[in-house]
Structure 1
Amino acid sequence: MNRRRTSPSTRRRGWTLIEMVLVVTATSVLSALGISVIMLLMRMEQTGTIALARQRAASRLALQLQADGHEATSVELVNDDVAPTRVKLTLPGGQNITWSSDDDTITRTVSDGDSKPRHSVFQFPDGSARWTLADDARHLRLHLSSDTSAATKTEPASTVPFETTIDVNLGRLADLGRHLRPVSPTPPESAGQEE
């Protein structure tokens, strides 16, 4: 009958199974939320980086195209297939500058006859370019746009569409009173007739 009595202070205390399950569940939920937030932040950072790169390329392209257009003494809009894809500018001194658009790239090629042509490339992922010449023949327009339905490995599907129009004042041509003419790959039907 000698039973030992243990006092509450010396009794062994441990974690019950329910307490352990609650701790593991809470840790799992917090980890899942944390991972989701990190993934969302990474996607937003990637989208912002792509948008910034596009905007910087568009700004550089606009400055260069406006400078070239202002100094041009002649302009030819070259139609390939359906839409114009190239613009040929002639500057004083015989220097030729060709702007061409192909898929997601716009290329500026400078040639002056004596030296090797120099190229500048402007990248617009999943972009398209459309060249137009205003009715008054004093403004050249380049319309850049992107299609988010065709997302690539370099660009997430959640990217905001990119669209901008660069309006180039053909200042020297307007001053000189020169006439701008679009050039097509096929000769016009009425080429032999005089007006």
Structure 2
Amino acid sequence: MKYLIAGLGNIGPEYADTRHNIGFMILDELARQQECQFFNMRLAYYTDFKLKGKTVHLIKPTTYMNLSGNALRYWMQELKVPVENVLVVVDELALPFGTLRLKPKGSAAGHNGLKHIEATLGHSNYARLRFGIGSNFPKGKQVNYVLNAFDKDELPELPALIDRSIEMIKSFVTIGAELTMTRYNK
């Protein structure tokens, strides 16, 4: 069994450690824990590892957020991973900081990365792990907010939240979306 986990973000040092790059940050830590290294390949940084007899493929699209669907579609086809074994890890403005939600499908909710994935795949029937980044910004300043680093009071909580996100990814791979939702979504 193969699984494809896509952590969304933007490439380049100016985007590192920003709210919009939490998908990259989570996959970087997962790869570190699994002692595997990302390689720059077609449309994405790529690595894989084994988990309880299953192959887990990780991608961090190099297409920039707004074209994430291109990388996801390519790697799904290249690896022959069915959509039910795909999980997209993404930042979410509509959830308070630190809230984690796994959903088996859903709307793009205004997220440009998810909008492009939906347009590219032609549907929204793929699982996503939404990492709440909150919406503590003045009207019209959403772009500045998501492209900025986490606040000083949020930083101490990040490692534990990233670890919990990794637990949820592993749970998705081993027991599926429904049981993972029951166990982790609160």
Query: Between Structure 1 and Structure 2, which shows a larger proportion of strand residues?
Result: 1
Structure having greater relative contact order (Cα 8 Å, sep ≥ 6):
2
Confirm or deny a common fold (TM above 0.5): no
TM-score tier by shorter-chain length is under 0.3
* TM-score between both structures, scaled by the size of structure 1: 0.25
Larger Rg: 1
* TM-score between both structures, scaled by the size of structure 2: 0.26
